[in-house]
Amino acid sequence: MITARAHTNIALVKYWGKKDQQLIIPQTDSLSLTLSEFYTDTGVEFTDGLTTDQIQIDGQSITGHAADKVKNFLNLVRQISGINRYAKVVSTNHVPMSAGLASSASAFAALATAASKAAGMNLDRRSLSRLARRGSGSATRSIYGGLVEWHRGTDNASSFAEPVMENLDFGIEMIAILINTSKKKVSSRHGMQSSVTSSPYYPAWRKVVAHDMIAIKEAIKNKDIDQIGHIAEENALRMHALTLSADPGYTYFTGDTIRAIQAVNHLRSQGISCYYTMDAGPNVKVIYDRKNREKIIQSLGEIFGKEKLIISQPGPGVKIINK
Ligand code: 2P0
């Protein structure tokens, strides 16, 4: 069995919409930070004697929609590699306190890496990034560590990620505030498509991302955490405006999401710089310079409880962790 470890990522410039739903070609570029604290280990073995793929996640055999997504992905790997055996897949999510932050990004980045290797292929990172993309868009970026850009491209060959800065030495850090860990009502896949087809703001979003990609790469070059955080915060709010402006409109925010936003704004008004971002769920992630960590923990801990705060550093790219 070949086992790979991939870390999840938080988008600072978000991916929210596909141009090609089959190949998962996005409407826009995006840029993320890979995170040290949240990762998935996935083992894959193609063996004789199986009559179907066997998939186990966190100790449970899975069936239904989640299993179908994995089987479709394994079909793709079989098609590319020419292998004709079924696979045994064993996957474990490492997320502190079973926080509900497990993500398809780390899952499909680990699966792409383990399955392609188990099928006898030796793919380079760019090819792994393309392959991971076919499982889930955000997985495209989780092949690499640090700050990572996904070029939207126009076809399978041109849509892949690459690192912007892999080893980060300028103190950027993130706290995840665990607000609600129950399963979301609107999946990202459905939600983003609804935004593409029904939000009148979608054309403006494409322009926002084109602008933010240039600005954030400049901020990264300057190692300017305030500028990175500011761009990420505005980009997140504008992504969430696409959910509110869809038909039917919806939101991933809860009351506690707003409370967290207000808490970050309050910290900033006190001269402690930190910035928020949210994905397709209510949890809020706070980006800041690690020199401000204690003050931020103190303040957010008073509101949410320190046990609800998880600190994460920038994380590494995908690795095979056995032979
Ligand atoms: C992102 N998100 O850039 C954005 C921001 C959530 C909000 O990518 O349909 O699970 O599998 O390609 O990657 C979540 O969507 O969606 C996501 P699919 P995915 O990280």
pLDDT of 323 > 80? The answer is no
What is the structure's pLDDT at 180?
Answer: 76
pLDDT for 210 beyond 90: yes
Determine if ligand 1 sits within 6 Å of the CB of residue 164.
no
Sequence-ordered strand ranges (E) for 24-159? 25-26, 30-47, 54-57, 60-61, 86-94, 147-151
Residue 244: other Cβ atoms inside 10 A: 13
145 touches 314 (CB < 8 A): yes
Ligand 1 and 11: CB distance under 6 A: yes
Distance of CA 190 from the midpoint of ligand 1 (Å): 10
Q: Where in the chain is the domain with CATH 3.30.70.890?
A: 172-312
In the predicted model, what is the mean pLDDT of residues 227-246? 98
Residue 33: phi and psi, rounded to 5, are: -115, 120
pLDDT, mean of residues 55-78: 95
Which region among 61-65, 129-133, 160-164, 216-220 has the lowest average model confidence (pLDDT)?
A: 61-65
Position in ligand 1 atom list of the atom nearest CA 103? 10
**Element spanning 172, H or E:** strand 172-177
Say how many Å lie between the CA of residue 29 and the centre of ligand 1.
12
Mean pLDDT of 173-191: 86
* Separation between Cα atoms, residue 185 and residue 198, nearest integer Å: 18
Report CA(248)–ligand 1 centroid distance (Å). 20
Residue 297, pLDDT above cutoff 60: yes
Give CA–CA dist 62/322, Å, rounded. Answer: 24
pLDDT band of 95, cuts 50, 70, 90: confident
State the amino acid at position 177 in one-letter form.
Answer: I
| Distance from C-alpha of 316 to C-alpha of 323, rounded to nearest angstrom | 19
Mean pLDDT to the nearest integer, 21-39 = 97
Residue 181: the pLDDT is 66
The CATH class for the domain spanning 2-167 reads: alpha beta
Q: What is the pLDDT of residue 186?
A: 87
Q: For ligand 1, is residue 230 a contact (CB within 6 Å)?
A: no
Once rounded to an integer, what is the mean pLDDT over residues 16-41? 97
Average pLDDT over residues 144-161: 98
DSSP 8-state symbol, 93? E
The matching CATH number, chosen from 3.30.70.890, 3.40.1280.10, 2.60.40.1120, 3.30.470.10, for 172-312 is 3.30.70.890
Q: How far is the CA of 193 from the centre of ligand 1 (A)?
A: 11
| Max CA distance (Å), the chain | 64
> Residues near 21 by Cβ (< 8 Å), separated by ≥ 6?
193
Delimiting residues of CATH 3.30.230.10 domain(s) in the chain: 2-167
Query: In this structure, what token pair is assigned to residue 75?
Result: 């079909």
- DSSP notation for 5-51: EEEEEEEEE----EEETTTTEESS-EEEEEEEEEEEEEEEEEETT-S
For residue 102, pLDDT beyond 90? no
What's the confidence (pLDDT) of residue 322? 87
> Can you give the pLDDT at residue 185?
79
Q: Tell me what the mean pLDDT of segment 146-163 comes to.
A: 98
- pLDDT (tens digit, 9 = 90+) per residue, 114-136? 999 999 999 999 999 999 999 99
The model's pTM is 0.96
Average pLDDT, the chain: 95
Whether 149 lines ligand 1, by a CB cut-off of 6 Å, is: no
Burial of 202 (0-12, 13-18, 19+ CB in 10 A): middle
Distance 188 CA to ligand 1 centre (A): 6
